[in-house]
Structure 1
Amino acid sequence: MSAALPGNRALPASQYDLATYWGRVKHAAEISDPRMLLISKKGLEDSKELIASYKLGKIAQMSPELWHAKKVVDATIHPDTGEAVMLPFRMSSFVLSNLIVTAGMLTPGLGTTGTLLWQITNQSLNVAINNANANKSTPLSTSKIVQSYLLAVGASCSVALGLNALVPRLKRVSPGTKMVLGRLVPFAAVASAGALNVFLMRGEEIRMGIDVYPALSAEDKAAGKSDQRDSVISRAQQLTRDGYTGPGTGEIAEDELVEE
């Protein structure tokens, strides 16, 4: 992200009003825009130079070109290392990759083999994204990454297979309810493994703390814990909204809350 580039002048957080729901939606859409995957190396370098010029005071104010450059950098560059995140694991690829995995996990009649394969695929993707985008001020060893991956895969597969075996045996439940519960099995498996995945892959952020800006040398354990908690909650909410109710539901609920 732009914070990793040289210069002391801070860029505006977003061209949208982050105090409003729709402002945050538009900002998230900017970062996860799949078109950013098509940006060439030269395009990225040009965007980095433009951002650096602004931060060094060579450019007086934000412009459409500068906003686009910020979008490119935020969607591509890791804020701690200043290097480009590996292509399949950038946030700009998040929607496309998860769309495929979600469709696979929700396919009816997968059976044991299909359930295992899609859960393993999902957790492999989660671990890769978590590792690629994790806070690099608290690095994780390779052995810890492998351990976290195996535990997350084991948790998701155990929950999925266990619930798939349990739901059909429920006696006091109607067939329609069983069908609904069966559709919720992937959610339970992914949510539980996702929470475990976050704590395992990014546990050092809780134990050691994370760098807090602009005080670059400070490490805050409270910030690390807050970051972990928010990640778990937001991922569970995202699974509920996108996998089962559709992206519009959260928007409606938010609007109703504001109106009340």
Structure 2
Amino acid sequence: MLSSCGDDPSVDCSMVNVSVGATSTISNCPDATGTVTVTASGGSGNFEYSLDGTNFQTDAVFMNVGGGDYTVVVRDGDGCSANTDVTVEATSDITFTSTSTAAGCGGDTGSITIMASGGDGNYEYSLDDGDFQAANQFNNVSNGLHAVTIRDGNNCETAGEGYVLSGISYAGEVATIISTYCAVSGCHVASEPRPDFAIFANVQTFAAEIKSRTQSRNMPRGSSLTDEQIAAIACWVDDGALDN
């Protein structure tokens, strides 16, 4: 909250304690249905309120406010003022799903395709807060989680996430690591009081723990994995520990 001086030279606004706060409700895009409610105290006389610093009103509640960031200004009867920032969140009926092609473990040759619905149907797409584009496919995308934003012709937006798979195969890569280093005598086999990693369902159930322990090099016991093997396990787990 910042205070500033008024137009009356006889009043020292630096000695006037005008305080302001603001709360908001959600606006439904594309309709401006949000509200901003301002609270003010201190100062002298009746308060006036503004969302743009130029147009003031005597009502402390602003109706029909669109989504966005606003600077609320309040001034008292002597022109002494204070301001604070408030954000009106906007909701949209745009929804989306995404599909991807594999990028490789730690690679950047994947693609992600966005399928949107709702809104006015005229979509633009942004990946990782980059520029918006008309095409719903992004190429040369790295393996991992990405921020997705869809905007329609009414400037309504919906944000979410999409995941680009690494394409690591359990059968082709991870299974050999597990069977060689973990599903061995004295460790994760049927005769031991530990999950039997010869059974895929057990590996899948404990996938997150396997990733964590191999990355911290607490697993496997008595031997160590290469960086490539550790990365392969992590990528497979991050892809959803698929039975592939």
After TM superposition, the score normalised by the length of structure 1 is 0.25
Rg: which structure is higher? 2
Structure with more strand by fraction: 2
After TM superposition, the score normalised by the length of structure 2 is 0.26
Structure with more helix by fraction: 1
